Amino acid sequence: DSGVTQTPKHLITATGQRVTLRCSPRSGDLSVYWYQQSLDQGLQFLIQYYNGEERAKGNILERFSAQQFPDLHSELNLSSLELGDSALYFCASSVGDRGIYEQYFGPGTRLTVT
């Protein structure tokens, strides 16, 4: 158990809908990262927050947005969903905001868009 929690574990929704994925980092970690993993693909970095502020942005679509709240939990909002958005979404946390800090991954949310 990494100490990172993600909810829900599974999510099935229709095209055009909007969903929110939630992540709680490990106690003491200030950075939260969001990744997308499609079938047979590696982890695609989406976005990083550090202590409430956006720190780095990767291949995140404009239909997607995220935020980190004062209690450090984070939410990833996916809107106008398309079939291609079906994937595993992972959240990770680390104590610092640079790549040298070990990232601890949550169990993921499996999103299925039908």
Partner 1 sequence: GESVGLHLPTLSVQEGDNSIINCAYSNSASDYFIWYKQESGKGPQFIIDIRSNMDKRQGQRVTVLLNKTVKHLSLQIAATQPGDSAVYFCAENSENTPFNSGNTPLVFGKGTRLSVIA
Cβ closest to partner 1, residue 24 vs residue 108: 108
Burial label for 28, CB within 10 Å (0-12, 13-18, 19+), is exposed
- The site map against partner 1 for 95-114 (x = CB under 8 A) is --xxxx-xxxxxxx------
Which residues contact residue 84 at a Cβ distance below 8 angstroms, ignoring those fewer than 6 apart?
113
**Options 12-20, 41-49, 61-69, 73-81: segment touching partner 1 (CB under 8 A):** 41-49
Taken in order 24, 27, 33, 39, the sign of the CA dihedral is negative
| Smallest distance from partner 1 to CB 77, Å | 20
Sole binder of partner 1 in the list 34, 49, 64, 90 (CB under 8 A): 90
Contact between 23 and 68 (Cβ < 8 Å) = no
| Smallest distance from partner 1 to CB 106, Å | 5
Which strand (E) or helix (H) includes residue 77? Answer: strand 74-78
Binding site for partner 1 (CB under 8 A): 2, 4, 33, 35, 40-45, 48, 55-58, 90, 92, 97-100, 102-108
